[in-house]
Structure 1
Amino acid sequence: MSVAAVITHRRPGETTEAVRTLIEIARSRRVTLHFTEDEAAKHGIELAPFLEIVPELGDAVDLCIVLGGDGTILTALRRYAGTGVPVFAVNYGEVGFLATIDPNGLAEDFARAFAGEFDTIELPTISVGRPDGTWSALNDISVHRKAGLRVADLAYALAGEEIGRVRCDGLVISTPQGSTGYNLANGGPVLAWGVKGYVVSFIAPHSLTARSLVVAPDDELTINNASREEAVEVHVDGRPTLELKPGEDIHIEFGQSYGTLAQIPGASFYHRLRERFGRLAR
């Protein structure tokens, strides 16, 4: 490793000491760290040997170090999706399901990261498209009725075949890694990492027959806002992104690009599932 990007979450008081350790280890390994101007201001970092302050993070890095929770890790994975740059994440969040490590023994862990002593796993995106653009998510894309308005009326089709029409508060389309988030809260199935495909689950459906559905990876999902009056919102990884007016369609595709997540050698999805979610249940 010779160059690494650094991204941290919005609470610098929790990560400043770890950033100092990261800078120290990077200098000892002659690795240049890239910080955006916002990140540098957040941690009081100034230009110095092996420290560069850049307007925005570029692709010409060997690694991205993240200090934060799953939201910050998703930001990094989206930024470097399709580039092959691994994201090495230290958990400073509540769950940290995507994190590589917890913040214990960071000096040794950062040294291993810069030595490339980690495995990687490719995490697929799902993309929502319509004529004015395309947006990609690492976790999920969700459709929601607007606050204070009537329930959504959504029709959906797969591979050109209409499946159904449901009155509901919304629906969630999740990747395997996103299936442990909003989808799980809806009662949808958990997909193990490595499963090729995605899952559609409904938010408070007004139906006895609306059930979650695991979809084959090559089958495009079309969602139509079947309401005659009410627009609905489309969120990408939890962020409001676009509006779907009455009668409009959006199209969802799986695996247009992949993010690369670093893992400790020998780590597995099932270990993460037990440690993160089993721990919360105790």
Structure 2
Amino acid sequence: MSLTERTFLVVVHTLRSDVGATVAQIRELLDAAGVNMKLESDVQEAPDDAAVGCEVVVVLGGDGGFLRGAELARRADVPIIGINLGHVGFLAESEVDTVPETIGDLVHRRYTVHPRMTLDVAIHDGDDLVAEGWALNEVSVENRSRQGLLELVTEVDDRPVSRFACDGLLVATPTGSTAYAFSAGGPVMWPDLEALLIVPSNAHALFSRPMVTSPRSTIAIEVESRRHEAIAFCDGRRTLEVPERGRIEIRRGADPVRFIKLGAAPFTDRLVHKFQLPITGWRGRQDGGEPRDGTGIGG
């Protein structure tokens, strides 16, 4: 492929007033490299096929914009990278002050692509399949009215696990473990782990701990109560109607989202940086595994 045939899709959030200068900077860098830039100035309104024919998707913004960009990238089966303009931006690979370096790496293909696990969700009314969807972070089953508690039965691989009343229940990927599931009390899972995470939200039960299952498992949630209607949210963006006493089945998604990774910094560094974790006093190994005092103990 020649440089003139290459196209990057850049998507931004129109609500951000500080994005114009960054878009202009990226356009100038791509023009200089002979790479076409396709711009969608409102990521929420971008057509579903916007990334078709593009080499990469570049999202300017926070995690909300990235999740919409992931929809476009997944549909076109192209990799995606986020440049953080938000506060935490956990899904973003780089920051706005490193735009020249990031674009240079993309132009010269100095990156690796890591497929991230997704979820496929199916809603059943008795024997009938009534709705389907997918998620990168999580599927959240919640009380539609936000009043009272849902009565749910959880099932793993065709066997019941527990019944409880709760505000809702989340099934998350490792990528989504640092999002809603984390806020609900779930563990942090490294993104290269393949597993499914189940996190009840404010459950009234003796056993309501988060659970981690095999990536080959099928998670099912049955809505027992007739008093409260449920609804399923995919990444907090796409809603699926759940019929009365409906059944939600969730399993590993058939199509991953392909994340672009720059450099070799591990996920641990991102976790510490994004959550501003205290690490003062660490005496671990430095610079390629060599102990700081050369003794093999650390100092």
Normalising by structure 1, we get a TM-score of 0.89
The 5 A counterparts of 1:129-168 are: 129-130=122-123, 131-168=129-166
Unaligned runs of 5+ in 2: 124-128, 281-299
1:152, 1:169 within 8 Å by CA — same for their partners in 2? yes
1:6 Cα offset (Å): 1.1
1:114 Cα offset (Å): 1.4
Cα distance in 2 between the residues matched to 1:267 and 1:177: 17
Aligned to 2:7: 3
CA RMSD of aligned residues (A): 2.4
Q: Which amino acid aligns with 1:178?
A: G
Percent identity over the alignment is 25
Bigger radius of gyration, 1 or 2?
2
Aligned to 1:97: 90
Cα deviation per residue 1:86-111 (whole Å; 9 max; x = unaligned)? 11210011211111101113223212
Q: Which amino acid aligns with 2:163?
A: R
1:220, 1:252 within 8 Å by CA — same for their partners in 2? yes
Cα distance in 2 between the residues matched to 1:170 and 1:55: 30
The 5 A counterparts of 1:212-231 are: 212-231=210-229
2:14, 2:42 within 8 Å by CA — same for their partners in 1? no
Pairing partner for 1:24 from 24, 28, 33: 28
1:231, 1:243 within 8 Å by CA — same for their partners in 2? no
1:61 aligns with 2:65: no
SS in 2 for 1:75: helix
Q: Which amino acid aligns with 2:15?
A: R
Q: Which amino acid aligns with 1:228?
A: R
SS in 2 for 1:105: helix
1:217, 1:255 within 8 Å by CA — same for their partners in 2? no
Q: Which amino acid aligns with 1:13?
A: S
SS in 2 for 1:14: coil
1:113 aligns with 2:111: no
Aligned to 1:13: 17
Aligned to 1:269: 267
Aligned to 1:198: 196
2:122, 2:131 within 8 Å by CA — same for their partners in 1? yes
Distance 1:124 1:210, change over 3 A: same
Unaligned runs of 5+ in 1: 43-52
Cα distance in 2 between the residues matched to 1:73 and 1:100: 11
1:189 Cα offset (Å): 1.3
- Give the number of equivalent residue pairs: 270
